[in-house]
Structure 1
Amino acid sequence: MHIGRTLMIIGAVLLVVGGAVALIERFLPGLGRLPGDILIRRGNFTFYFPLATCILLSVGLSLLFWLFQRIGR
C-alpha cells in the first residue's frame, strides 16, 4: 500500500515539475541556451551540458526553499 501511494506522489510531483518547466520554456525561451552552457558538436556526435542553466536553477531553487523555510517558522 505504501509503495503505490509513494509512486502516485512521485508521479504527481513529476507532472507538476514538467508543467512548470513547459511554462518556463514558453515564457523564457532562452533559458536552456545561456552563455556558459557547454555545447560540443563533432560530426555525428553532439554533447550539450547546460552548466549555466543548472547554476541559475540551483540558486533560484535554493532561494525559494530558504524562503519557504523562513515562512514556515
Structure 2
Amino acid sequence: MNDLGKLLVVIGLLLATVGVLLWTGIGRSWLGRLPGDIHYTRGNFSIYFPIVSCVILSLVLTLLMWLFRR
C-alpha cells in the first residue's frame, strides 16, 4: 500500500505541473494543433479530434510510468 501512495503523489504532482504549464500558456501553440489532428468544418457543423496529440501524450505517460516502476 505504501507504493500505491507514492505513485498517487507522483501522478498528482505531475498533473499539477502540467496544469500550471498549460494555464500559463506553455503548450497552447502546439498542443492539439499537430499534423495529423483531425479538424473538419462544414457549415454549422464542426468536429475536432486531436488523435496525434493523444498518441504523443499516451507515449509520454507510458514512458513515465515505466520509469517510475523501475
Query: TM (normalized to structure 1)?
Result: 0.64
Aligned to 1:68: 68
Gapped regions of structure 1 (runs ≥ 5): 1-12
* Paired residue type of 1:31: L
Structure with greater Cα Rg? 1
Query: TM (normalized to structure 2)?
Result: 0.66
The structure whose residues are more often helix, as a share, is 1
CA shift at 1:68, angstroms?
0.4
Deviates more, 1:23-32 or 1:41-50: 23-32
Aligned to 1:23: 21
Total equivalences in the alignment: 56
Gapped regions of structure 2 (runs ≥ 5): 1-11
- Alignment partners' CA distance in 1, 2:61 and 2:30: 18
CA shift at 1:17, angstroms?
3.3
Matched ranges for 1:44-59 at <5 A = 44-59=44-59
Alignment RMSD, CA only? Answer: 2.2
Identity among equivalent pairs (%): 46
